[in-house]
Copies of this chain bind each other. A is one copy, B any other.
Amino acid sequence: MTQKLRDNEVAVATDAPRDAALHFIGRIRTPFTRRDLCPRQGRLDGPDCRLVLDAPWAAGLAGLERYEFADVLYWLHESRRDLVLQSPRSDGAVRGVFSLRSPVRPNPIGLSKVAILRIEGPEVIVRGLDCLDGTPLIDLKPDRCAYTIAAPDKPADRSP
């Protein structure tokens, strides 16, 4: 993996992260076994991948079958975290990390919208991922576009 600085890139000094802690809830199985095999962005017509939930979280999949798409959050465990300005083309032109979807970011959380193909016990078979085989899974939510809130109204939900 290339983790050397390119021309004009800027790394910042930060303390070790300790503001909050994550609990990996499973692993993602993809056909991408090396970083150079990962597409830069997932495609909904890409290969089948599997979200494999650890016990006891598999029970949390109940009801997911009613959705066609989901947002998947995962931990980009091989990324450095200190590059505030980055040069995606290695040509000396830099951009801020928050104007890129680069895996190199202060909190290396990947986010993809996936198509849900089916659920098999503790596994969700999906399309649309771009991450390495074995990537830790952090979260899975119904896609916001299709999501209808199940809870009763509260005052803040009503339009002004």
Which of A's residues lie within 8 Å of B, judged by CB?
10, 12-25, 32, 36-41, 56-57, 59-64, 66-67, 70-71, 73, 75, 77, 81, 84-85, 88-89, 94-101, 105-107, 109, 111-113, 136, 138-142, 144, 147, 149-152, 154-157
> What separation, in Å, do the CA atoms of A88 and B113 have in the docked complex?
24
> Would you give the shortest CB distance from A138 to chain B, in whole angstroms?
5
> Would you give the shortest CB distance from A35 to chain B, in whole angstroms?
9
Q: Taking A61-B96, A99-B62, A99-B67 as contacts, is the C-beta distance between A19 and B106 under 8 angstroms?
A: no
* Copies of this chain, count: 2
> Would you give the shortest CB distance from A125 to chain B, in whole angstroms?
14
Q: Taking A36-B154, A99-B142 as contacts, is the C-beta distance between A84 and B60 under 8 angstroms?
A: yes
